[in-house]
Amino acid sequence: MATPSLRLGWIGLGSMGNAMAKNIHTYLQSRRGTSLCFYNRTPSRGDALEALGGERCASVPELAARSDVIFISASDDAAVQSIVEQIISCGSELATKIIVDTTTIHPNTTRQITESLAAQGAQFAATPVFGATPVAEQGRLLVAFAGPESVYQTIAPFLKGVIAREVLQVGKEPEKATLLKTTGNFMMAGLMEIIAEAHVFAEKTGLGADVLERLLELNFGTVAHSDSVRMTTGVYMPGKGEAPWSDLNLALKDVGHGVDSAKQVGVSLKVGNTVLEHLKRAKAYSDENGQRPLDSSSLYGVVRQDSGLDFRTEYVKKRDQ
């Protein structure tokens, strides 16, 4: 397959998918003068990409027929499985195509999808990404790749320097990439839990958020500092009309996959279980408040409650007034 003539398609334009698709389309326009084909179940989500010159498709099968490489960015396992089933419905032409899934799904689901596509002669790779929406918009995600080396060589030009700052090659079995992402999610969630507890401790002791956040910035790195900012600037509980950096429902799914994967091999993720409990309670808070959208860092509100504080910080209260 000659790389310069590749036709690329993108399925799924959530906040992360939209950011990645735009970056790939911009790359195609600037380097090749070609456009990215795209499909999204909710058509309006594709309006901005179409305005940039992206080519809208009316269905998954239409996009599959028009594309050599098909990227998927969906919300969960069921959505990815549905998309793959629709791609498979294209029939024999599938043997010439590459499917690349950027979604964070259970490693078992990735394995099942690999087998389904292999039976049709298609090549498949998993490329889950690390980073929130602002990072995706900057093209600075970290990509975990697992799949055939030939697939990597084909899609590499669209990864590092386009949607990602770096690519981690995990192995040939696609499920190894989602396993790494699941492991990373557990670690990230654990770090977020610690930072939430530290902020509550700083508030109740009178140490204060400013000096703690500065310590996190200087001594614990960008990720820790970013988590802190999400708490101190109210991102954990977005204001009216604002979107979460990373949706709470996705965090529940991601951490749940990690806890389940560990359980299957006899490992107890005690921190992971604590985080999962706090995320579930944050979800209950969201439901009790009109299904208000919350960020994955909203576990901070639960940690606050457990220490006798309001779910909302004073900053959030004033902002929402």
57 in the same domain as 74: yes
Percent of the chain with pLDDT over 90: 91
Does one domain contain both 157 and 195? no
33 pLDDT more than 90: no
**Predicted local confidence at residue 1, as pLDDT:** 40
- The whole-number pLDDT of residue 132 equals 84
Q: Measured in Å, how far apart are the chain's first and last C-alpha atoms? A: 57
Residues 283 and 312 in one domain: yes
Does 58 share its domain with 134?
yes
Find how far residue 47's CA is from the centre of its chain. Answer: 21
In this prediction, residue 5 carries a pLDDT of 79
Domains in the chain: how many in total? Answer: 2
CA-closest candidate to residue 188, choices 220, 236, 234, 227? 227
Domain match, 138 and 18 both: yes
For residues 217 and 157, membership in a common domain is answered with no
Q: Residue 2 pLDDT more than 80?
A: no
Contact of 232 with 291, CB cutoff 8 Å: no
Mean predicted confidence (pLDDT) in 243-267: 94
Going by C-alpha positions, the residue among 179, 320, 145 that lies closest to residue 258 is 179
Amino acid at 283: K
Runs of H (alpha helix) within the chain: 15-31, 47-51, 60-66, 77-88, 107-118, 133-137, 149-155, 175-205, 209-219, 221-232, 248-264, 270-288, 299-306, 314-320
Instruction: Say if residue 273 is in the same domain as residue 165.
Output: no
User: Do 90 and 193 belong together in one domain?
Assistant: no
Look at residue 95 in the predicted model and tell me its pLDDT. 86
Convert the pLDDT of each residue in 104-114 to its tens digit: 999 999 999 99
pLDDT at 3 over 80: no
Q: Which domain holds residue 21?
A: 3-173
d(CA 165, CA 64): 28
Mean pLDDT of 199-228: 96
**202 and 83 both lie in a single domain:** no
Examine the fold and report which residue of 173, 196, 225 is the final residue of a domain before the chain moves on.
Answer: 173
Burial profile 293-314: b = 16 or more Cβ within 10 angstroms, e = fewer: bbbbbbbbbbbbbeeeeebbbe
Which of 120, 153, 173 delimits the end of a domain?
173
- The proportion of the chain whose per-residue pLDDT surpasses 70, expressed as a percent, equals 98
Q: Could you tell me if 198 and 281 lie in one domain? A: yes
Q: Is the pLDDT of residue 261 over 70?
A: yes
Q: What pTM value is reported for the model? A: 0.87
How confident is the model over 55-94, as pLDDT tens digits?
999 999 999 999 999 999 999 999 999 999 999 987 757 8
Please report, for the domain that includes residue 217, its CATH number: 1.10.1040.10
- How many C-beta neighbours within 10 Å does residue 224 have? 19
Mean model confidence pLDDT for the chain: 95
140 lies in the same domain as 52: yes
> At which of 173, 206, 224 does a domain end?
173
Cβ atoms of 41 and 64 within 8 Å: the answer is no
Backbone angles phi and psi of 39, in degrees to 5: -145, 140
* Confidence bin at 137 (pLDDT 50/70/90): very high
Strands 8-11 and 69-72: parallel
CATH code of residue 15: 3.40.50.720
Whether residue 242 is found in the same domain as residue 311: yes
* Residue of 304, 315, 258 lying closest to 281 (CA atoms): 304
The tens digit of pLDDT for each residue in 113-124 reads 999 999 999 999
| Whether residue 275 has pLDDT greater than 60 | yes
